[in-house]
Amino acid sequence: MTGPDRSTVGGVVLAAGDSSRYGDDNKLLASVDGAPLVRHVAEAACASGLDDAVVIVGHEAEAVGAALDGFSLSVRYNDDYAEGQSTSVRCGVAFARENGWDAAVFLLGDMPFVSPETVDRIVAAYRAGEGAIVVPRRDGQRGNPVLFDRRYFDALADVSGDRGGRDLIENEDGVRFLDVDDPGVRRDVDTEADLRDATE
């Protein structure tokens, strides 16, 4: 039997939303340090030790996909992205199953400041058997990205709306909260003001 230390762990970047709170523009394409916001998230996934990565796109899929040019990752279109984040989670789970992943790290496309080292720490905690769900925490507050073992793939595929995996984090045993010194796990960009505050 394959042990946790040799498990296959991939990353799912959720980048299909329509940025409704951001205004007329797509926040995932907004510039952060000279590059589209979503590109920073993909870079964190690819620069980490993840075995594989996929970006789930939907709204303005062609433009978001173009922003990821040059990265070694897959892109999957979510036909149902307008129905909420859970549909993109479902797409990510399907990709993980197709590719034999033992666990998936879900990275949010609007959180560009997470470091690759944080992703690696999350994966290392999982491979060390510390938890089947690994959640980063900073200053006592939980953040993202979050890792889920494949035993939760069925439950993740059944969520609806924009809940994502929060119910599992709140109700399941085996959750490991990993304290990190990375402000990026709590910094998302929902509005233009958020982006200004984050980059000033």
Residue pair 38/109 in contact (Cβ under 8 Å)? The answer is yes
pLDDT bucket at 194, cuts 50 / 70 / 90:
confident
Domain ranges of the chain: 4-199
108 vs 164, which has greater pLDDT? 108
pLDDT bucket at 109, cuts 50 / 70 / 90:
very high
- Peptide bond between residue 145 and the one before it cis (omega within 30 degrees of 0): yes
pLDDT bucket at 193, cuts 50 / 70 / 90:
confident
Average pLDDT score, the chain: 90
* Phi and psi at residue 154, to the nearest 5°: -60, -45
User: Percentage of residues in the chain with pLDDT exceeding 90?
Assistant: 74
pLDDT bucket at 189, cuts 50 / 70 / 90:
confident
pLDDT digits (tens, 9 = 90+) for 127-173: 999 999 999 999 999 999 999 999 999 999 998 766 668 889 998 98
161-197 burial by CB neighbour count: b if 16+ within 10 A, else e? eeebbeebeeebeebbbbebebebbbbbbeeeebbee
- Residue 10 is predicted with a pLDDT of 98
Distance of alpha carbon 145 from alpha carbon 16, whole angstroms: 16
Q: Which of 6-20, 69-83, 135-149 has the lowest mean pLDDT?
A: 6-20
Query: The pTM is what?
Result: 0.92
Can you tell me the mean pLDDT for 19-48?
87
Residue pair 14/56 in contact (Cβ under 8 Å)? The answer is yes
Q: What distances in angstroms separate CA 98 from CA 61, 92, 93, 146, one per listed residue?
A: 22, 10, 9, 20
* Phi and psi at residue 22, to the nearest 5°: -85, -20
Can you tell me the mean pLDDT for 108-112?
94
Distance of alpha carbon 176 from alpha carbon 54, whole angstroms: 24
In CATH, the number for domain 4-199 is 3.90.550.10
- Residue 1 is predicted with a pLDDT of 29
Q: Are strands 146-149 and 52-57 parallel, antiparallel or unpaired?
A: unpaired
Reported as half-sphere exposure (CB side, CA atoms, 13 A), residue 109 has a value of 32
